[in-house]
A = this chain, B = another copy of it.
Amino acid sequence: MPRSLKTAEIEKNSHLDYFNIAVSVDCVIFGYDNKELKVLLIKSDLEEFTGLWSLLGDLVRLDEDIESAPYRVLKERTGLDDVYLDQVYTFGDLGRHPSGRVITTAYYSLIDIKHQLKLTHNELHWHKVNDIRKLAFDHKNILDRSLERLREQVMEHPIIFNLLPEKFSLRELQDLYQAILGVNLDRRNFRKKIAHKDWLLDLDEMENDVPHRPGKLYKAKTQFRKNPGKRKTNRAEARSLID
């Protein structure tokens, strides 16, 4: 039996009961601003966690695929549509939710703070990922795992562009990589590596809002995958692992 479950709380949380496991999704919504990686959080609505922030989540509905749930949550809470989402991990320890037995599947999302978001809900706030020490539930753990996954994915797949406006300079791109990976990169080597990936389209345009020599502007050439649910095995990838 869940630890801190009392009858009063069951009534308060009518969607939870003693006899079933509830299924939820939580969204780790990453954004990038002012050279910092951010995550969108909401004030926790549970007494146990007053003052703490939490991820955006909801119970999975009986009539929706689990993959649809995080899209719905993002749409409902932020108005965002057509975002990049990837499943990270499913968390289901006994004590993770004080109101009952809830298993949650975490998704992370990459969005462009500046151009995409209209915050409809004033309890939502962007937080610097690096400054976060504690969150409600096990959400700090979920955040850590999501960041870990983001770091793994970001050099292998052309997904990082979801965090940037359509047009960006190589400096902006490098700053973003540095914010995500938490390391400084050599500019010349970084550019060689990016050039080699063939992800960028040279727009033949220049920055015009910088107080120094403007850089060239690029846009992402590659189509990012928006629905990661059903992937194909890539034989070539497997091969490159060894020989």
Interface of A toward B, CB cutoff 8 Å? 1, 18-23, 60, 62-67, 87, 89-94, 101, 103, 105, 141, 144-145, 147-148, 151-152, 154-155, 177, 181-183, 185-186, 189-190, 193, 230-231, 233, 235, 238-239, 241-243
Contact = CB atoms under 8 A, between A and B. Distances in A.
Given A238-B182, A243-B183, A65 B87 contact: no
Contact of A231 (B64, B103, B148, B190): B148
The 3 closest A-B CB pairs, nearest first, are A66-B92, A155-B241, A90-B90
Contact of A186 (B18, B154, B233, B243): B243
Contact of A93 (B23, B66, B92): B66
Given A67-B92, A177-B242, A148 B101 contact: no
Contacts of A185: 242-243
A193 B141 contact: no
A233 B130 CA distance: 14
A193 B242 contact: yes
A20 to B, nearest CB: 5
Contacts of A67: 92-93
10 contacts: A65-B92, A65-B93, A66-B91, A144-B233, A152-B241, A183-B239, A183-B242, A185-B242, A189-B242, A190-B243
Contacts of A182: 235, 238
When all copies of this chain in the complex are counted, the total is 2
A147 B243 contact: no
A155 B62 CA distance: 39
A49 to B, nearest CB: 21
Contacts of A105: 90, 92
Interface centre among A1, A94, A154 (most CB of B within 10 A): A94
A233 B66 CA distance: 27
Contact of A60 (B19, B92, B177): B92
Contacts of A233: 144, 147-148, 151
Contacts of A241: 151-152, 154-155, 181
A15 to B, nearest CB: 10
A132 to B, nearest CB: 14
